[in-house]
Amino acid sequence: MSAKEEFSKELEKLKKMSFQDKIWYLWSYYKVYLVLFLAAAAFLGVVATAFYNTTFTTRLGVAMVNNHSPNPQNADLLEEQLRRILNCGKKDLVEINSGLYLGEEANAEDSYLAQTKLAALMASDALDLLIADQETIELYAQADSLWNLEQLLSESQSAVPEENFCLSSDSAGNPLPFSLSLEGTWLSENSYLSQDCVYLAVIKSSPRTEAAVQVINSLFP
């Protein structure tokens, strides 16, 4: 019997069956093929999703540490503002990492989780800006994880006032301007940040320092 004749025969059988019988028959005799089809579809879906994600470009990665802003949507609002500043397209990503607490602001478990996440973000070049309290800035300055901002901004036409540069000690004990005070900027005036979380630093391993400088220049036009 040819494949065409076999197909016609199966079709005639199905026509004579009730809906429930059709379902039972198809599952009984073709379940292996159905399972293989579904597995193939799932695999192709995973591959397509992975490929789709590679088409995105991360424009900026931000971490907010010890931020107790009363606005639960502050991270989403900040992302929208940063996307406007960087003129992001549909395939551009701005990633905001919030809900991180260190030191006296957190219990031991939360502090450990925050440190682990920050270390992972830095190691994977996924972090560019750190917005935090002074204690956290000093912690990462002593670990030599932050840019000297006078050095970073020296080649840009930055209008950061001298009084906004904040000194912290590096691993050798040298006081250097590793952060900027955000007081009086749009970041501190729009309920994005709590009162003590008003310092901004640039991560030394950042692969997107141009975008970081662009954000800084928007803060001090």
Q: What is the CATH number of the domain that holds 135?
A: 3.40.190.10
pLDDT at 185 over 80: yes
**8 A C-beta contact, residue 193 and residue 131:** yes
Closest C-alpha to 217, from 82, 92, 100, 35: 82
| pLDDT value for 159 | 83
186 and 201, same domain (yes or no) = yes
pLDDT higher at 51 or 64? 64
pLDDT at 151 over 60: yes
Sheet holding 165-169, edge to edge: 92-100, 57-65, 129-132, 199-202, 175-181, 165-169
Weakest mean pLDDT among 1-5, 61-65, 67-71, 191-195 = 1-5
103 and 162, same domain (yes or no) = yes
Distant-in-sequence, close-in-space partners of 111: CB < 8 Å, separation ≥ 6: 101, 102, 103
Q: Quick one: pLDDT band at residue 19, thresholds 50, 70, 90?
A: low
68 and 155, same domain (yes or no) = yes
Domain count of the fold of the chain: 2
89 and 192, same domain (yes or no) = yes
- Mapped onto helix, strand or coil, the DSSP state of residue 201 is strand
Q: Where are the alpha helices (DSSP H) in the chain?
A: 3-15, 19-53, 74-85, 108-123, 134-142, 149-153, 186-189, 209-219
113 and 99, same domain (yes or no) = yes
45 and 70, same domain (yes or no) = no
104 and 180, same domain (yes or no) = yes
Which residue in the block uniquely carries the two structure tokens 């009084």?
163
Nearest-angstrom CA–CA distance, 178 and 145 = 9
Nearest-angstrom CA–CA distance, 85 and 207 = 18
**8 A C-beta contact, residue 125 and residue 191:** no
37 and 91, same domain (yes or no) = no
95 CB-contact burial (10 Å; exposed 0-12 / middle 13-18 / buried 19+): middle
| pLDDT value for 80 | 92
Express each pLDDT in 152-184 by its tens digit: 998 777 789 999 999 999 999 999 999 999 988
Nearest-angstrom CA–CA distance, 77 and 75 = 5
The amino acid occupying position 4 is K
| pLDDT value for 201 | 97
67 and 159, same domain (yes or no) = yes
Express each pLDDT in 121-143 by its tens digit: 898 888 999 999 999 999 999 99
pTM here? Answer: 0.74
- With vertex at residue 213, the alpha carbon angle to CA 142 and CA 193, rounded to the nearest 5 degrees, is 70
Domain region containing 40: 3-52
105 and 159, same domain (yes or no) = yes
pLDDT at 45 over 70: no
101 and 202, same domain (yes or no) = yes
48 and 68, same domain (yes or no) = no
